[in-house]
């Protein structure tokens, strides 16, 4: 029996603003004098009943309104790093949404400096390694993404990749082809959310127009056999988020989640937590949920852990070290 919490894993799909637990939201609301439209922690938690991606995003953006100072971003990120390490995360590639903060008058540097100070401390204390991925909000104009790319120049060395998130349907990857091209020219790697609520066509566009190294979510690829063949042949990692898909009604129950079918189709699927404070658990909890409800075998579990390091932006020596640790557990 594999210990799913301790199993070494990389987390590749995690929005730092989605790790904002209700207790910390309230503490920062008070400290910063930014009121919330909820009287207490319990009533905020009670509002976590989502009907789709947009209903979640409305609450997600409202809650992050209480994040104001570098210290706030430091505390948010430290709390995540601690939780992640207890659930077996050895390496994390973390999304953040700079536009959601810039729009509120928070400087780009305040956000990045708070997050990176916490990640630097976490690495010293626990060995957790990490990268930052800056996401563009796809429901804003492409021009706003260009401006964000420009703003990021003061912290270029702290950001490894750009991504694409927020409301997917009606905002195809093609809208961001030019800004992603510029980002690649500046040396950024690229990823994109695609095929969560949007159609397989958005996954094709992410591959062909944005030249992504990974697809975030991608569960709807199964509707297109040619696309499945392409993803399998290229070994494109898919950062699947099971609890998220259930909470946002992309799938009806965990028992019906397509993860097992994706593995059986030979896709490089990984398990991730997306916005764990909102969706009922962190990455180890997601592993436990799918292992039970999809009756995953030990081989499936080991494949998922291996895939997470195969998909990570780490060098081959580091990758081999992590893979050897997994093999040592699986005798």
Binding residues for ligand HPA, rule: CB under 6 A, are 15, 18, 53, 60, 165-166, 193, 196, 244, 274-275
Measured from the CB atom, is 68 or 175 closer to Zn ion?
Answer: 175
What separation in angstroms does the CA of 66 have from each of 26, 49, 63, 101, 105? 8, 21, 6, 10, 12
One of 93, 168, 274, 285 touching Zn ion (CB under 5 A): 274
Catalytic residue among 109, 196, 197, 225: 196
| C-alpha 243, offset from chain centre | 12
In the complex, the smallest distance separating the C-beta of residue 84 from ligand HPA, rounded to whole angstroms, is 17
Q: Cβ of 23: how many Cβ atoms within 10 Å?
A: 13
Q: Is 72 in the site for Zn ion (CB under 5 A)?
A: no
196 part of the active site:
yes
Q: Is 197 in the site for Zn ion (CB under 5 A)?
A: no
Residue with tokens 């540097």: 109
Measured from the CB atom, is 133 or 159 closer to Zn ion?
Answer: 133
In the complex, the smallest distance separating the C-beta of residue 244 from ligand HPA, rounded to whole angstroms, is 5
Q: Is 93 in the site for Zn ion (CB under 5 A)?
A: no
What separation in angstroms does the CA of 7 have from each of 101, 263, 267, 310, 316? 34, 18, 21, 15, 20
What separation in angstroms does the CA of 92 have from each of 84, 133, 152, 184, 298? 8, 10, 20, 21, 23
Measured from the CB atom, is 275 or 300 closer to ligand HPA?
Answer: 275
Number of residues engaging Zn ion in binding (CB under 5 A): 1
Tell me which stretch binds Zn ion (CB under 5 A): 130-138, 247-255, 259-267, 274-282.
274-282
Q: Is 97 in the site for Zn ion (CB under 5 A)?
A: no
- 298-311 helix and 283-293 helix, angle to the nearest 10 degrees: 140
Measured from the CB atom, is 87 or 171 closer to ligand HPA?
Answer: 171
Residue nearest to ligand HPA (CB): 165
Measured from the CB atom, is 210 or 326 closer to ligand HPA?
Answer: 210
In the complex, the smallest distance separating the C-beta of residue 315 from Zn ion, rounded to whole angstroms, is 25
Residue 110's Cβ-count burial label (10 Å; 0-12, 13-18, 19+) is middle
Tell me which stretch binds Zn ion (CB under 5 A): 44-52, 103-111, 199-207, 268-276.
268-276
Measured from the CB atom, is 70 or 274 closer to Zn ion?
Answer: 274
Residue nearest to Zn ion (CB): 274
- DSSP reduced 3-state for 310: helix
In the complex, the smallest distance separating the C-beta of residue 196 from Zn ion, rounded to whole angstroms, is 7
Maximum distance among all Cα pairs of the chain, rounded to whole angstroms: 54
Residue 93 contacts which entry, ligand HPA, Zn ion, none (Cβ below 5-8 A, type-dependent): none
Residue 24 makes CB contacts below 8 A (sequence gap 6+) with 75, 76, 79
Tell me which stretch binds Zn ion (CB under 5 A): 26-34, 70-78, 141-149, 272-280.
272-280
In the complex, the smallest distance separating the C-beta of residue 47 from ligand HPA, rounded to whole angstroms, is 16
In the complex, the smallest distance separating the C-beta of residue 164 from ligand HPA, rounded to whole angstroms, is 9
- Residues 130 and 133: their CA atoms lie apart, in Å, by 10
Whether 100 and 17 have beta carbons less than 8 Å apart is answered as: yes
- Residues 235 and 214: their CA atoms lie apart, in Å, by 9
HSE-up (13 A, CA, CB side) for residue 7:
31
Annotated active-site positions, please? Answer: 196
Applying CB under 5 A, the residues found at the interface with Zn ion are: 274
């Amino acid at each position: 029996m594999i210990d799913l919490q301790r199993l070494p894993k990389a987390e590749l799909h995690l929005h730092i603003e989605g790790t904002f637990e209700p207790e910390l939201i309230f503490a920062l609301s008070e400290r910063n004098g930014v009121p919330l439209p909820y009287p207490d922690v319990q009533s905020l938690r009670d509002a976590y009943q989502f009907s789709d991606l947009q209903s979640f995003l409305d609450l997600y953006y409202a809650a992050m309104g209480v994040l104001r100072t570098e210290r706030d971003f430091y505390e948010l990120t430290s709390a995540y790093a601690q939780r992640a390490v207890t659930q077996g995360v050895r390496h994390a590639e973390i999304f953040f949404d700079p536009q959601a903060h810039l729009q509120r008058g928070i400087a780009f540097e305040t956000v990045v400096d708070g997050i990176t100070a916490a990640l630097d401390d976490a690495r010293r204390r626990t060995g957790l390694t990490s990268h930052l991925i800056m996401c563009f909000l796809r429901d804003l104009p492409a021009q706003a993404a260009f401006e964000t790319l420009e703003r990021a120049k003061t912290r270029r060395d702290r950001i490894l990749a750009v991504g694409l998130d927020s409301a997917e349907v009606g905002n195809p990857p093609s809208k961001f082809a030019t800004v992603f091209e510029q980002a690649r020219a500046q040396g950024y790697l690229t990823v994109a959310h695609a095929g969560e609520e949007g159609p397989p066509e958005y996954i094709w566009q992410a591959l062909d127009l944005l030249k992504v190294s990974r697809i975030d979510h991608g569960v709807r690829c199964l509707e297109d056999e040619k696309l499945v063949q392409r993803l399998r042949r290229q070994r494109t990692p898919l950062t699947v988020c099971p609890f998220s898909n259930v909470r946002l009604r992309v799938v009806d129950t965990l028992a019906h989640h397509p993860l097992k079918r994706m593995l059986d189709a030979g896709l490089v699927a990984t398990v991730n937590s997306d916005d764990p404070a909102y969706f009922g658990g962190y990455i180890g909890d997601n592993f436990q949920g799918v292992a039970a409800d999809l009756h995953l075998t030990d081989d499936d579990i080991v494949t998922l852990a291996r895939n997470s390091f195969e998909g990570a932006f780490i060098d081959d020596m580091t990758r081999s070290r992590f893979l050897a640790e997994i093999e040592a557990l699986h005798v």
